[in-house]
Structure formats: structure tokens, C-alpha cells
Structure 1
């Protein structure tokens, strides 16, 4: 049965550690999944000059090119060093498929799909043997579609269900945002943000675009505990 696994790894063991050191507020998000030595990566948290200087000094980046940008983030194409490519290829060789990847605070959160738990375990063990301090975050099986598997939080799911049942999406609407928020006992702003994030997640799932991914807290899933979870969860 196919499995989605979240790998959490340090930039020190993978890519862009020097860039995070020079730009502490830097955030990264893979633009798309492609078979290319120059993947697109959205970078934010520093101005273009600071990012360019950080990439220039980063030993994990061979070359880079600015593609486009806006007020909040800039898209770069990065040619990573061989050491970085070898880590990625190590997982791909074990049958893993990259779904999404993003990083902040010097740590990467990478979502991978595997055909079964055995492939996942083998990939995990190869990374550990290679010296990569990898932690396993959330695991989910690709069975019948559910809110958790496509990336919705429980609160987002409950809010969407309530909105549908109360006719919020009908034309004309049968309930206002304020009325729905009061029924859910949350603020108008909280409900608006919750629904907006849910829309984005559902759109990414439908369009096969990268998911938003939040790292697990407290390093849960590291070491032998993670290996047990890969086998037994």
C-alpha cells in the first residue's frame, strides 16, 4: 500500500546550510517536481542581494539564476552540488517520489511517496547509513481520500464541512461568514484564514502541486523510534 512520509532533515546534512547561516530568516520552497539539475526554488526572508551573496558562498550550490520575483519571494533555479544530488538520488533509487519540499530555520521538511513501507524503511536506513540525521514525521497511507491525506488540518476540515452543510458556498449564501464563525465559536478572521488555507490545500491537491508542509514539533520520530514507526504505524 502506497505511503506518504514526511522526512525532516537538517540543512547541514543536505543543502543550503551556509545560506541559512548568512540569512537566518530565509525560507525555501520547491516550485515543482522535475527531473532536472536546476530545480526551481522559491526563496524569501532576505533581499535579492543578500540571497545572491548567500548562494554564491554556499558550497552546496554550484550555480544559480534568478528567474522572477515579487515583493514577498523570489524564484531561483539552483544547480546543487553532487553531494546534495547523491542524497536525493539515494531516496529516488529506493522507489521514493518527491511530492514537496520546503525549509526554514536551517531544516528541511520533505514529503515523499513510496509504494510500500518496505521501500520507505530501506530509504530511511540508507540515509542514516550515509550520515544523514533524518527524522520521520507524519505517515499516511494512500487509501480512500481523507482530509488528513490531502493535507487539511482537523479544524480546516470541520470548518469546510460546516460551511457546506450551512450553505455558505451556495448562491445566494444561506449563512454569512460571521454567522458561521459564531456557530463554530471562533472569530470571523480565524474562520476566514482557516477556509483560505483549506482552499489552497485543496487546490494544490487537485492540481497536483506541492503541498504545504509543517515540520513536526519536538523531533518526534527520530532514531530507532522512527524506524519502529516506519514498520508498525
Structure 2
């Protein structure tokens, strides 16, 4: 049965993460395309850095043969990278066990959403990563059916969903606001700080799933 796994990994574990560690403000997102020439991670979006300094740093890596800026949209830049050679680390383990990268983004730490044909392939991938010295933190494993069901629900807890729904319905996000955070907290029967944390975490989850699941061209 097809399984989906969400993992966190240090940027040093793979080429793209390693060469784009220009500063703590930089965020990189893999462009979801299937390269026809067999190249590894050829397209990515970058934001949060001064583009000239970022490009100079990436081009200075021995692993990069060529870096091209293809598009600039709202402070984000779409790049195409050509590697001199790829290190058989995280991406090598993914390919060796028939894994597919569905989503990937990060800075110092990256979040990957991967698909494997079954649990045996996933287990073999995990063992392979250990052998290669790649330290993974597994956040979530789900079957394909469960993953799509949770995607519809945005992976919110019941409390987060209730808090966000109440905030939206009562006009907390409107300009100007129709209710205060304190009023939302009172309605939920929790402290103002707890309400703020629930709403912010829920909003962050929904926005990331809604925005990060779309390709750069969609945006």
C-alpha cells in the first residue's frame, strides 16, 4: 500500500540544501516538476535574501556548474541549477527505494513530503539514510487514502479548527476587526494567549497547505 511520510532533515543532508545555506533569512522551495533528462532537483524558488549575494554564493559552490535565474515574482526568484555531480546522500536514498518527492522546502532545516510504494520501501529508505549518515526526524506516516483525507482537513486538531473557524466567523480577520482576540478567547473559554497560539498555528497550517502545495507557476 502506498505510504506518505513527512520528514525533517538538516540542509547539509543533500546538495540543494547545502549550497543554498546563505543566511538564516533564506527560504528555498523545490519546484515540483519531473525532469525528463534525469537531473536531480533542477528547479527551485528562493526568497528572503538579496539575490545577487545569494547567486554569488551558490555559484561559488564546487557542486554547481551553472545557476540561472528564470523568473522573479513578488520577491521570489525561480532558479535552474545544473550540478557538476550529485552527492549520493538523501536524494540517492530516495531514488534507490522508489521514493518520490512531493514537496520540499526549508532553510537550515528542510521539510520533505515523500511517497513510497509501500511500508517495506519506506523502512528500507530509513535504514539506507542511517547507513549514509543522514539523520531524519519522521513527523508523520500515513497511507495515501489517509493523507488525502487529512489534506482536505488541513491537518488541524479539533481545537485548532474550532478556534480558527470562530475567529473567521466572528470577524477577527476583517479590516477593521469586528471582535478582539480577548473576545474570541472568552467565547472559547480559554486564555488570550492560548487562543492566540491556536489561531496562529491553525492559520499557519492552512496557509502552508494552501500555498506551498501549489507550484511556482500556479502562483
CA change 1:84–1:94 in 2 (3 A) is same
Rounded Cα–Cα distance in structure 1 between residues aligned with 2:56 and 2:209: 36
Rounded Cα–Cα distance in structure 2 between residues aligned with 1:194 and 1:209: 20
Q: Which residue of structure 2 aligns with residue 209 of structure 1?
A: 214
Shift of 1:148: 7.3
Q: Secondary structure at the match of 2:86?
A: helix
Q: Which residue of structure 2 aligns with residue 23 of structure 1?
A: 23
Any unmatched runs of 5+ in structure 1?
170-175, 211-233
Normalising by structure 2, we get a TM-score of 0.69
Q: Which residue of structure 2 aligns with residue 157 of structure 1?
A: 161
- Contact 1:64/1:79, CA 8 A, preserved across alignment: yes
Q: Which residue of structure 1 aligns with residue 174 of structure 2?
A: none
User: Mean alpha-carbon deviation: is it higher for 190-199 or for 151-160?
Assistant: 190-199
Rounded Cα–Cα distance in structure 1 between residues aligned with 2:170 and 2:135: 43
Rounded Cα–Cα distance in structure 2 between residues aligned with 1:97 and 1:51: 28
CA change 1:34–1:192 in 2 (3 A) is same
Q: Which residue of structure 2 aligns with residue 200 of structure 1?
A: 207
Q: Which residue of structure 1 aligns with residue 120 of structure 2?
A: 118
Question: What is the Cα-based RMSD across aligned positions, in Å?
Answer: 3.6
- Contact 1:3/1:141, CA 8 A, preserved across alignment: yes
CA change 1:82–1:157 in 2 (3 A) is farther
Rounded Cα–Cα distance in structure 2 between residues aligned with 1:110 and 1:161: 28
- Contact 2:167/2:199, CA 8 A, preserved across alignment: no
CA change 1:140–1:9 in 2 (3 A) is closer
Any unmatched runs of 5+ in structure 2?
172-177
Normalising by structure 1, we get a TM-score of 0.65
Q: Secondary structure at the match of 1:119?
A: helix
Q: Which residue of structure 2 aligns with residue 48 of structure 1?
A: 51
Q: Which residue of structure 2 aligns with residue 137 of structure 1?
A: 138
1:76 equivalent in alignment to 2:89: no
Deviations 1:21-54 (A, max 9, x none): x434322111224235363211123201111111
CA change 1:136–1:115 in 2 (3 A) is farther
- Contact 2:28/2:46, CA 8 A, preserved across alignment: yes
User: Mean alpha-carbon deviation: is it higher for 83-92 or for 69-78?
Assistant: 83-92
What is the 5 A alignment of 1:216-231? none
Q: Secondary structure at the match of 1:83?
A: coil
Rounded Cα–Cα distance in structure 1 between residues aligned with 2:66 and 2:186: 53
- Contact 2:164/2:203, CA 8 A, preserved across alignment: no
Size of the aligned set, in residue pairs, is 197
